[in-house]
Structures are given as C-alpha cells and as structure tokens.
C-alpha cells in the first residue's frame, strides 16, 4: 500500500489533520480538493451520514479521477431526538461558527439533568472509485455524555462538551482535553478508519 494515493473529500482543515494522523502512517499519500483546478462544494442534503459520505466521495472521485474518501460525521443527542445529527456542522444556521453552534446546543440542553445528557458521535466513511462506484463503506459511533460547559482547548466542533463513555471516572474528560493518541483510539472517526483501513488493500489493490 505504500504510496497509494487517496483523495480526501473535505475542506475542513481540522478533520483533515485527524485523517492524516490515522491514514498516512499506513502508507497513503493523501490529496485534497485544494489541489484541484475546480471547486469542490458538495451539497449535503442526504437524510443520513452514510448518504452524505457517499455523495462527497463520489463527487470528488469523479472530479479528481481517482479513489476518494468521503467522511460525514456529527453529534446525535438523545434528549433532542437525535439533533443536531447530519446538521451538526451547520446547526443554528450559517451565521454561527463552531463555538456558536456548541453554545446553541448547550442552551437547548439547559435544565436537562446529567443522567439524560447522553449522546453519541457518529462517523460514516465511504470510498468511491473514479467512476463513482462505491468500493467500501463503514460507520462507527462513540457513546458518551455532554457537559454543561466547554472543557479543554483541543479538538474541534462539539469536542469540548463531549465525554466519551469509555473513559468513565472523575473528573470528566472531554474529547478536547485528550491527547491525540487517546482521542484517536476512542473516537468514532478512529474506529471507522481502523475498520476501513483493513478493507482498503483489497478494494484499492496493493
């Protein structure tokens, strides 16, 4: 697999950094939409993470003429009937940044007791060939709970309020307080990428 090119269907620099950490040690040469001479602007209008991941991967694979990996992920909050879900990166409208969306979510959860602040991060990955065919697709999640205030300066998105269930104990540690290796081991994206990586040699060829 050394040196095998894989296009990454994201314009999110922080998400790309996570993907690089997890895929480059496996021998992939990651390429990004910034290298294209045309814009990459997928419309994320599918009802689930898998549909959006496929749409991103298919569009970039056709534009780039090579295999592409699409990632769609988000936070599903039980007390909010699964919101923000597929709208996680756009929650509250275009006027909000990551911090604004996080605070909007906390406002919606005001008064919700600790035992009902359960949630899960979901990551859906899809790899498409240059002709748009789906070569592989996986989905993984990470259950946890939500803090009442942000904690930690690492990560991105809703990481500062999400405490993975696998850690347990006190004090509660959000994704944003963890070192990169620990987060990658526990996270939805880390789980999905490890499962996908095991399949890639067969679907992409050695």
Q: Could you report the per-residue pLDDT of 32-52, keeping only the tens digit for each?
A: 999 998 889 999 999 999 999
Q: Rounded to two decimals, what is the model's pTM? A: 0.92
CATH code for the domain of 185:
3.90.950.10
The structural domain count of the chain equals 1
Range of the domain at 77: 4-204
Q: Which residues of the chain have pLDDT under 70?
A: 1-3, 169-170, 205-206
Question: What pLDDT was estimated at residue 25?
Answer: 85
Question: What pLDDT was estimated at residue 206?
Answer: 53
Supply the DSSP string of the chain, one letter for each residue.
Answer: -TTEEEEEE---HHHHHHHHHHHGGGTEEEE-GGGSSS--------SSHHHHHHHHHHHHHHHHTS-EEEEEEEEEEGGGTT-BGGGGGGTT-TT--HHHHHHHHHHHTTT--GGG-EEEEEEEEEEE-TTS-EEEEEEEEEEEEE-SS---SSS-TTGGGEEETTT-SSS---GGGS-HHHHHHHSHHHHHHHHHHHHHHHHH--
Question: What pLDDT was estimated at residue 3?
Answer: 60
| Catalytic (active-site) positions | 72
Question: What pLDDT was estimated at residue 87?
Answer: 96
Question: What pLDDT was estimated at residue 200?
Answer: 84
Question: What pLDDT was estimated at residue 13?
Answer: 86
């Amino acid at each position: 697999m050394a040196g095998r090119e894989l296009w990454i269907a994201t314009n999110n620099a922080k998400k790309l950094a996570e993907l690089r950490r997890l895929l480059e040690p496996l021998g992939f040469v990651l390429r990004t939409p910034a290298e294209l001479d045309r814009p990459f602007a997928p419309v994320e209008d599918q009802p689930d993470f898998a549909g959006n991941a496929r749409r991103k991967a298919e569009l970039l694979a056709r534009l780039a003429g090579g295999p592409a990996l699409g990632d769609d992920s988000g936070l599903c909050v039980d007390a909010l009937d699964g919101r923000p879900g597929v709208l996680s990166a756009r929650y509250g409208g275009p006027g909000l940044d990551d911090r604004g969306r996080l605070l909007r979510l906390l406002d919606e959860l005001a008064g919700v007791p600790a035992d009902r602040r359960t949630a899960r991060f979901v990551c859906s990955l899809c790899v498409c060939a240059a002709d748009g065919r789906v070569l592989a697709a996986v989905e993984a999640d990470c259950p946890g709970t939500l803090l009442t205030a942000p904690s930690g300066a690492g990560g991105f998105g809703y990481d500062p309020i999400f405490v993975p269930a696998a850690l347990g104990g006190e004090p509660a540690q959000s994704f944003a307080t963890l070192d990169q290796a620990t987060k990658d081991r526990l996270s939805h994206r880390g789980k999905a990428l490890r499962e996908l990586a095991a399949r890639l040699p067969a679907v992409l060829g050695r």
